[in-house]
């Protein structure tokens, strides 16, 4: 399952280093919130329960609007973003965040073949190609743990 991730290296060369993103961290060594966005409730529940089980602080959103609301309430460390969603899709969410000057790292989650291209389109840090396994999910999120939002 590891090889799936190999296609989408972290975009470490362009770390989100704005003050806004740093504000989202709770300090050195502390885990920030992971925001999971997916309109498929099974995936949403699964990813949420896995990440909480692994000790992450997780917020879930089942639509683009819910995701923006959650970001407005509390800036997350990382956003796992589904691309194909009704009404407001992944692209619209990414655009809205950029529009507000919020540069939280995004990991695109998609079942589409064009996952890598879509990740580039929204300036994401990487992608998780569905179906992804437990190890990939955790490894991806781990890279952002305690980095203040910076991928290593």
Q: Which of 27, 87, 99, 101 binds another protein (CB under 8 A)?
A: 87
User: Which backbone phi and psi does 30 adopt, to 5 degrees?
Assistant: -95, 145
Nearest-approach distance from CB 55 to another protein, in angstroms:
12
Binding to another protein by CB under 8 A, coded x per residue (else -) over 43-82, reads x-xxx-xx--x-----------------------------
If one asks whether residue 134 binds another protein (CB under 8 A), the answer comes out as yes
- Coil, strand or helix at 92: helix
Q: For the chain, how many helices (H) and strands (E)?
A: 7, 5
Residue with tokens 């966005």: 37
Q: Which stretch binds another protein (CB under 8 A): 11-19, 27-35, 95-103, 105-113?
A: 105-113
Nearer CB in complex with another protein: 29/42: 42
Burial class of residue 59 (count of CB atoms within 10 Å of its CB; 0-12, 13-18, 19+): buried
Nearest-approach distance from CB 12 to another protein, in angstroms:
25
Q: Which of 7, 73, 133, 142 binds another protein (CB under 8 A)?
A: 133
Nearest-approach distance from CB 5 to another protein, in angstroms:
14
Q: Which of 20, 96, 112, 139 binds another protein (CB under 8 A)?
A: 112
Encoding tokens for residue 95?
């655009």
- Closest by CA position to 128, among listed 80, 67, 76: 80
Q: How far apart are CA 35 and CA 87, in angstroms?
A: 19
Nearer CB in complex with another protein: 40/120: 40
């Amino acid at each position: 399952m590891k090889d799936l991730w190999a296609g989408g290296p972290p975009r470490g060369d362009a770390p989100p280093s704005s003050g806004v993103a740093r504000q989202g961290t709770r300090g050195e060594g502390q885990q920030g919130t992971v925001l999971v966005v997916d309109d498929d409730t099974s995936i949403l529940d699964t990813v949420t329960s896995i990440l909480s089980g692994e000790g992450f602080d997780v917020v879930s959103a089942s639509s683009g609007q819910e995701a923006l609301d959650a970001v407005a309430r509390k800036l997350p460390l990382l956003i796992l973003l589904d691309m194909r969603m009704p009404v407001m899709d992944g692209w619209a969410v990414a655009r809205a965040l950029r529009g507000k000057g919020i540069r939280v790292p995004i990991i695109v989650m998609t079942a589409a073949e064009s996952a890598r291209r879509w990740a580039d389109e929204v300036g994401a840090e990487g992608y998780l190609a569905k179906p992804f396994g437990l190890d990939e999910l955790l490894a991806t999120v781990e890279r952002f743990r305690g980095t203040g939002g910076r991928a290593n």
